[in-house]
Amino acid sequence: WRSEAIIQKKKMKGWFLKITDFAEDLLEDLKSLKNWPEKVKLMQKNWIGKSLGAHIDFYVKEIDYKVTVFSTRPDTLFGASFIALSPEHELVDELKKNYPEIKKELNELDFQNTTEQNLEKVEKIGIKTPLRASHPYIKNKFIPIFIANFVLIDYGTGAIFGCPAHDQRDFDFAKKYNLEIKTVVKPTNEKDSFVVKDEAYSGPGLIINSNFLNGHKVPEKSVLKAIEVLEEKNLGNKKINYRLKDWGVSRQRYWGCPIPVIYDENGKPHPLPKSMLPVRLPENIDLNVKGNPLDKQKDWKEIEVDGKKFTRETDTLDTFVCSSWYYLRFCSPKERNYGFNKEEIDYWMPVDQYIGGVEHAILHLLYSRFFMRAIDYKNDNFNIKEPFQSLFTQGMVCHETYKDKHNNWLSPEEVERIGTKFVKRSNPKEIIKVGPSESMSKSKKNVIDPEFIIKNYGADSVRLFILSDSPPEKDVQWSEQGMVSSYKFVQKLWLLHNEIKNKISKESEDIFNDQLEQFTNELVFKITNNLEKFNYNVIVANMYETYNFLVNFLKKNKNLKNLKDNYKKILICFSPVIPHFASECLAELGEADNMVWPNFDTTLLESEDISYVIQFNGKKRAILKAKKDIHEQDLLEIVKKDKI
């Protein structure tokens, strides 16, 4: 979207980290992460994508060849009506050599731009080959073999069998190419004569029209039975497949950590000797060249080791590699001989609390978990498998989006609201299209300039608004009205501060007020507890509650001996949300250098009074406070006296 360059697929050589070797371990140990959000663990589980299925062999009639497919639903094999190959399958390479018309069709059709992300959206296209496969179970039945754009080479074996009656993608494909649609699963409450007509049925039920599989429950029993028979007949075998792929870490660019590999004159790779580490990027490099600038840096690229000529690897590492272990470096930032010091990571690791956006739920957090296992695998004395004990994912700050008549994104500064319409500020006659509220991003230009907001409202008002809008794990919907409201509340707190400051400096302090002491103690308890639990929006509610209490309290009380001490505790409790305000107020009280988080007295948290809800005919009329152990008759007398 930046350069509008044409997207092309090319086969390239690159370096990979073999994360797939740790797939089962990464999946299984998710259970040990008790303090991680369930949604994040589910996202990682789905990304690893463990699935039980079978490898099934289909023998090609016309040539001596066996197509092996992976399927999670071998129980639907009696409904198979076609085989589909990925365009990159090895059999397709042979077909292109022997059948020029297939090679021509592949070049003409849009087979290159199918990815896992757009798989559901692209039109399903197939090229019928002259080959057929024998059905494993049905004698003398042969099913056609297609090359299809919806089969990916990096999932399973790059080949599938299509059962149109029970997979919508296969159903659409079969309709398009006039293939057989045979029903082999029926809903439990349907008769055996049930037939799929207008759309595929992919739900649970019972197997039908499938010989020895008939009557088996789908999928609990039917899949296991199908695998058992395949193995008995030597037609296939049980297979566990993972969606997770090895991590491609090669990047063709200047900026990045160089890959410490060199190639000899025969092109064979060798690790760079440790004595020549770390590899430093060349300076004064020409970036105005096509392709990777490091490829053109001859004096850096060509080196000698022990009198022999070598060529450096010019790919640099994916930046996720660096962010997958930085926390170890934080433990020993001055370690010069190795990336970390063992004693120091034993002391500091694992990280007690990790706070980050949910957008890193999969890659960064999964790669970090993999890195610990990879280091542990190579180091006998390294015993850290999980880098982050507790995880908290905060929400995103969102803003509505704008587009002009040419479909170009516009920033909020370029848009003006006039009545119910949004117009372009530079051309008020042009009506602007308002899109949904999305997380702020440079690409959509729906970003608010923080300098402008801080200049007009102050940093504390911004913090207050963001924390008050919703729980921190939820997205924040940016609102100008919300900002104004937070700004006004900070101003009200400042006026209240001046009133309290004057009372502290002028009045004789001879009365100790228990009510103020009790309220402050409860406030310290609430805010301390809410900080621990990340209930930041509740802390803001506590602040509003405190403001209302103090306003009413000051009207009724004078000459307070404990006002300054309690007000100081209140300001310190406010400091995580509005630190500049709290610091300024404490400085004016002469307490700027004495900011120690206050303790609370648990005995003062026990109240003798509790709230009683008073109802008449099922409708709430009042909430009255009274002693915990009050007699029913005494409570009735209080109710009668109260003006409900």
Q: Cα(520)–Cα(546) distance, rounded to whole angstroms?
A: 9
How far is residue 483 from each of residues 3, 265, 410, 460, measured CA to CA in Å?
36, 65, 22, 10
Span 202-220, mean pLDDT? 94
Q: So what's the pLDDT on residue 626?
A: 80
Contact 87, 106 (CB under 8 A): yes
Contact 133, 60 (CB under 8 A): yes
pLDDT tier, 113 (very low <50, low <70, confident <90, very high otherwise):
low
Q: So what's the pLDDT on residue 487?
A: 94
**Tokens standing for residue 627:** 């002693």
Has residue 330 got a pLDDT over 90? Answer: yes
pTM of the model: 0.77
Question: HEC profile for 116-132?
Answer: CCCCCCCCCCEEEEEEE
pLDDT tier, 1 (very low <50, low <70, confident <90, very high otherwise):
low
Span 605-624, mean pLDDT? 71
**Tokens standing for residue 201:** 């049925």
Beta-strand runs (E) in 467-531:
476-477
Q: Cα(281)–Cα(53) distance, rounded to whole angstroms?
A: 47
Mean pLDDT of the chain, nearest integer: 89
Q: Note the pLDDT tens digit of each residue in 166-184.
A: 999 999 999 999 999 999 9
Contact 539, 485 (CB under 8 A): no
Q: So what's the pLDDT on residue 69?
A: 96
Q: Note the pLDDT tens digit of each residue in 440-499.
A: 888 888 888 888 888 889 999 999 998 887 777 778 788 888 889 999 999 999 999 999
Phi-psi region of 534 (alpha: psi -120 to 50; beta: other; left: phi over 0): left
Contact 425, 414 (CB under 8 A): yes
Contact 225, 215 (CB under 8 A): no
Has residue 541 got a pLDDT over 80? Answer: yes
Q: So what's the pLDDT on residue 221?
A: 93
Has residue 71 got a pLDDT over 80? Answer: yes
Q: So what's the pLDDT on residue 608?
A: 66
Has residue 618 got a pLDDT over 70? Answer: no
pLDDT tier, 78 (very low <50, low <70, confident <90, very high otherwise):
very high
3-state SS, residue 631? coil
Span 338-362, mean pLDDT? 90
What DSSP state is assigned to residue 560? Answer: B
How many whole angstroms from its chain centre is CA 578? 29
Q: Note the pLDDT tens digit of each residue in 361-379.
A: 889 999 999 999 999 988 8
Q: Cα(137)–Cα(210) distance, rounded to whole angstroms?
A: 9
Phi-psi region of 372 (alpha: psi -120 to 50; beta: other; left: phi over 0): alpha
Has residue 17 got a pLDDT over 90? Answer: yes
Q: So what's the pLDDT on residue 26?
A: 97
Q: So what's the pLDDT on residue 220?
A: 87
3-state SS, residue 588? helix
Has residue 617 got a pLDDT over 80? Answer: no
Closest to 19 (Cα-Cα) out of 371, 402, 380: 371
Q: Note the pLDDT tens digit of each residue in 240-288.
A: 999 999 999 999 999 999 999 999 999 999 999 989 998 999 998 999 9
Contact 58, 41 (CB under 8 A): no
Q: So what's the pLDDT on residue 605?
A: 76
Q: So what's the pLDDT on residue 570?
A: 95
Has residue 638 got a pLDDT over 70? Answer: yes
The set of residues, in sequence order, having a beta carbon less than 8 Å from that of 482 and lying 6+ positions away, is: 465, 468, 469
Higher-scoring residue by pLDDT: 115, 290 = 290
Q: Note the pLDDT tens digit of each residue in 490-533.
A: 999 999 999 999 888 775 566 777 889 899 999 999 999 999 98
Dihedral (CA of 366, 371, 377, 382) sign: negative
Span 326-330, mean pLDDT? 95
What DSSP state is assigned to residue 99? Answer: -
Residue reference for tokens 């096509």: 290
Residue type, 315: D
pLDDT tier, 112 (very low <50, low <70, confident <90, very high otherwise):
low
Q: So what's the pLDDT on residue 503?
A: 85
Query: What residues pair up with 400 in beta bridges, in sequence order?
Result: 437
Residue type, 89: H
Q: Note the pLDDT tens digit of each residue in 365-418.
A: 999 999 999 999 888 888 899 999 999 888 778 888 999 988 889 988 889 888
Q: Note the pLDDT tens digit of each residue in 124-135.
A: 889 999 999 999
Has residue 44 got a pLDDT over 80? Answer: yes
Q: So what's the pLDDT on residue 607?
A: 66
